[in-house]
Amino acid sequence: MEISFEQFKDTLEKLERGEVRVAEKIDGKWVVNTWVKQTILAGFGYGKVVDMSQGQFPFFDKDTFPVREFRAEDGVRIVPGGTSIRRGAYVAKGAIVMPPAYINVGAYVDEGTMVDSHATIGSCAQVGKNIHISAATQIGGVLEPAGAMPTIIEDNAFIGGNCGIYEGTIVQEGAVIASGVIITSSTALYDATKGEFVPRNGDGRVVVPRGAVVVSGSRPVSKGPGAQSGVHLYCPVIVKYRDEKTAGSVTLEDMLR
């Protein structure tokens, strides 16, 4: 697939306006727009490394992906203190970005979402409406391969501090991820309300169910010397599903807006 520089520039502008997305939900299923990722990747080939230093802070990056510029009329609240949002990222009106945070190319951050201090939104990650990405949390990114599903956080979810959500994980609408939870493509997620592990979807990715409340936990090694020594492996656990009490506790952030 040959992509011209003009096509790259046009796609980057459409990404920033939210007119195209790396992934979108169609008929209830998330679908990757592979051509968008291919176009972003082409931009790295067109770029050359230039000096982007500011004052005493040295920066050197491809000239095709500078820091994105915002205006007051964009309606995004970017609090002073060292945040960077790369070109090709969409941040919707009403979003709040606390310092320092980083949002990478191809990412989508929807209305009413707060990206807290020291949080990072990786390349092509899709973050929905009214979400709190708490301090020091990482939402993983992926550009290659072009067909790979990005990490997705659906509307009204809550991601606690020091979490890591990686490798195409989908956190469904309204789920609550407690502080310190790490989820990757190899993570076993246990549902204590049902007494079973959550099955993976068709392509092997972890899907946190709608409204699930997930905390850090562990499970014992079942055989070998580790079992004899009482060794446990990390295992996030669904302890309940979201109710009115849980919803009330995670909407306190509204006072900050």
CA distance 162 to 135: 6
Q: pLDDT confidence of 229, banded at 50, 70, 90?
A: confident
**CB neighbour list of residue 75: distance below 8 Å, 6 or more residues apart:** 93, 94
pLDDT tens per residue across span 160-217: 999 999 999 999 999 999 999 999 999 999 999 999 999 988 788 999 999 999 999 9
pLDDT digits 0-9 by tens, 61-101: 999 999 999 999 999 999 999 999 999 999 999 999 999 99
Residue 255 clears pLDDT 50, i.e. is over it:
no
The pLDDT of residue 252: 46
- The pLDDT, as a whole number, for residue 254 is 54
Q: Would you say residue 1 has pLDDT above 70? A: yes
Question: Cα(54)–Cα(35) distance, rounded to whole angstroms?
Answer: 34
Task: Label residue 125 by pLDDT band (50, 70, 90).
Answer: very high
CATH of 5-49+60-184, one of 1.10.1040.10, 2.60.40.650, 3.90.700.10, 2.160.10.10: 2.160.10.10
Do the Cβ atoms of 41 and 146 come closer than 8 Å? yes
Q: How far apart are CA 139 and CA 49, in angstroms?
A: 26
Average the pLDDT over 226-249 and give the result.
Answer: 85
Confidence (pTM): 0.93
- Average pLDDT, rounded, for the chain: 94
pLDDT over 90 percentage in the chain: 86
pLDDT digits (tens, 9 = 90+) for 90-115: 999 999 999 999 999 999 999 999 99
